[in-house]
Amino acid sequence: MLDQVLAGGYRGRIYPVNPRGGELRGLPVYRSVADIPETVDLAVISTPRTVVPEIVEECAKRGIKAIVVITQGFADASDADGPRLQEEMVRRLAGTGARLIGPNTIGVINLYERVNTSFIGFERVPADTAMICQSGIFLLAAAEFTCGLGLGVDIGNAADVDFNQALQTLGEDGRVRVINLHMEGIRDGRRFMAVAGRVSRHKPLLCLKTGRSEAGARAAGSHSGSLAGEDHVFSAAFRQCGVLRVRDVEEMHYLNKTFLTYPAIPGRRLAVITISGGAGIAAVDACADYGLEVAAFSRETKEKLAAVFPAWMEVGNPADIWPAGMSRGYLEVLELALDAALADPQVDAVLAVSPAYLKPEDDPRLDISAAVNRAAARRPDKPLAVWSFGAHRGELAARVEEAGRVVVYPSPERAVASLAALYRYYHEIKTAPVPVPDARPVPDSAPVERILAAARRAGRTDLHTEALEVLRACGIPVLPWQHAADAAQAVRAAEQLGYPVVMKIDSPEISHKSDVGGVMVDLADAAAVTAAYDEMMRTVKKRAPRAPISGVIIQPYRPGGVEIILGAKRDPSFGPVLVYGLGGIYTELFRDVSFRIAPITREEALQMIRETRSCRLLGGFRGRPAADLDALAELVVRLGQLVIACPEIAEMDINPLLVGPHGAVAVDARITIAGALTPA
């Protein structure tokens, strides 16, 4: 490690410590931390794990404020000693005022100050990017993943310093222009969202979230619970706080390069200036895939291009400049076309498509580096990107990118996806107001508390009709209902509510009522209700013989309207999460659901509704009347307030929530009280 510190060119004082003493690389080795003649800024510990806690305490006592523990085998170990040693270390650190990074880390890298605590050699490529990671490879390979590095922290097991502290600090560092996260999981997701929400308004935050596939395995009892899956929750949280999620390290590389190169993008209209018509078609496909528009050239641009194009060729976008270049010189026509497109008020960005079949020095007629850089320099307000291809793309890219004005991408998809992310950051994240969730007082929670407390006293934690009462208590419209313990009571209830009615089995252990014959609709009169009661009892007892049955629920039959499922669950990282989706069997079939961390704003509730495909059903799809989206959004906001106000609600569903032109009404609901969580 000392070798690496020295190789990095660190210019401060270094004190090796080892009980054996002696000399190392010309430096005297101290036998203990206590022997060091001054209070150092940073201690880096790499010893067998058993002695780490003691050394940490020693460093803290010596007044060292920053400690890095490289050693592995703590919470990351599969034996019992590891976690125990980590706890001990944290205990010894507590109250000393010192902060600790690690254990199980390569520590910190600061290429501005030439500091690094890595014991592994790596290419130090300075760039104004930062990385916070849970695996050292993301710092050591930063030259590739993030196009270089300014500041980096491997939080390792995060026994003390975690994502949130690191992000806060790097967010405030004026030198860093892009911050990257490699995240396997997070402890305090809400604090992360608060910090990231602030930082993302100043600089792009890119996150590679791994461990996504294990999430799906988590079993949960409720309908929406089983749909959630941690990974969707992370995506929702990232969206809410302005973090751009990247799919893989290749995307991470190109997005860093993109954000480091282009100061902004004015809109999404792309011009494509291409050496090949076929390549232009591929670029148009990419625009459709990633949400850029193919610009319509202004008359001026068309005229400028027509002046050099052969007579048999119409000017369009993509503009295939090869035939023109053949007669008038490729580089001349290219520069003319780039200037024309960049000057066009109907164009926001330009993609130049040009090859590198030979080494640029061997093929000066196709060496576009000077031409594109001149064009880019004249219009720094619009990104000029290049898709290049051929055996020598790398060499051409190096030439083109040298001035830091233009990025060369390896495919049109890569180029367009990168420009689309640029658009998203500058138009949807940076300029968006930090969301302020609905600040009206949460619904009066006292009656809700009373209902929940009564249920708990009665030893019940899985609530059905009481869930409807809870909703009503906090102002959510609920379809009237009555409980009936026999057929006669059912008829009486139906008469009070008005025919036609719906009958549903009432059992705390039956979640999917219709699966066991526990739902009958459109019962028109007393005879129908009586017959239905008998039939339902028979069927349900046969299909769910062990479920206790306390009778049925009678509700008015309201056909029409769209069935929505709206729920909430508690995520281990982010706490209360709202789940919204199409109801009925289609929820599971198409997983057409959206998630948000509660509480949310009305605008976020509308976004949540709109990002499902089933949203079209609400907008007057195929002749249906348009639903009252405002009422629906209001209700989603309200549910968020409820689960924030009542932490004892572990999970809940409104299923179905009936949404129509005149509002939304809860038909059925379920609440699970904390302490009775279904097995995870």
Q: Which is nearer to a copy of itself, 238 or 426 (CB)?
A: 238
Residues 6+ positions from 536 with CB-CB distance below 8 Å: 503, 505, 517, 518, 520, 552
Q: In the complex, what is the shortest distance from the CB of residue 70 to a copy of itself, in angstroms, rounded to a whole number?
A: 11
In the bound complex, what is the minimum distance in angstroms from residue 256's beta carbon to a copy of itself? 14
- Give the nearer residue to a copy of itself in terms of CB position, either 368 or 637: 368
In whole angstroms, the minimum distance from the beta carbon of 125 to a copy of itself comes to: 6
Which residue's CB is nearer to a copy of itself, number 73 or number 383? 73
Q: Is 550 helix (H, G, I), strand (E, B) or coil?
A: coil
Q: Residue 45 pairs with which residues in a beta bridge?
A: 69
**Minimum CB distance to a copy of itself, residue 124 (Å):** 9
In the complex with a copy of itself, which residue's Cβ is closer, 178 or 600? 178
φ/ψ (deg, to 5) at 456:
-65, -45
- CA torsion, points 29, 34, 39, 40, in degrees to nearest 10? 40
CB 638 within 8 A of CB 675: no
The least CB distance from residue 214 to a copy of itself, in Å, is 7
Least distance between a copy of itself and beta carbon 245 (Å): 13
Can the peptide bond before residue 126 be classed as cis, meaning omega within 30 degrees of 0? no
d(C-alpha 232, C-alpha 213), whole Å: 11
Nearest CB to a copy of itself, comparing residues 182 and 464: 182
CB of 260 to a copy of itself, least distance (A): 16
Shortest CB 478 distance to a copy of itself, Å: 25
Render the burial of 644-666: b for 16+ CB within 10 Å, e for the rest. bbbebbbbbbbbbbbbbeebbbb
Q: Amino acid identity, residue 367?
A: D
Minimum distance, C-beta of residue 563 to a copy of itself, in the bound complex (Å): 13
Q: What is the distance between the alpha carbons of residues 668 and 109, in angstroms, rounded to a whole number? A: 55
Question: Are the CB atoms for 372 and 399 separated by under 8 Å?
Answer: no
* Residue 80 zone, left/alpha/beta (φ > 0; ψ -120 to 50; rest): alpha
d(CA 593, CA 577): 12
Is the CB of 123 or the CB of 444 nearer to a copy of itself?
Answer: 123
Tokens of 169: 């600090």
Residue whose CB is less far from a copy of itself, 334 or 471: 334
Q: Which residues pair with 663 in a beta bridge?
A: 660
The nearest distance, CB 92 to a copy of itself, in angstroms, is 20
CA dist., res. 647 & res. 650, Å (int): 7
CA distances from 246 to 142, 282, 315 (A): 15, 23, 36
Residue placing its CB nearer to a copy of itself in the complex, 197 or 225 = 225
Answer whether 350's CB lies under 8 Å from 273's CB: yes
**Which positions ≥6 away from 654 have C-beta within 8 Å?**
471, 476, 564, 565, 566, 567, 639, 666, 667, 668, 669
Q: Judged by CB, which is closer to a copy of itself: 312, or 433?
A: 312
Min dist. Cβ of residue 247 to a copy of itself (A): 7
For a copy of itself, the closer CB: 200 or 274: 274
Residue 259, Ramachandran bin (φ over 0: left; ψ between -120 and 50: alpha; else beta): alpha
The nearer residue to a copy of itself, 303 or 444, going by C-beta atoms, is 303
Q: Which helix (H) or strand (E) holds 153?
A: strand 149-154
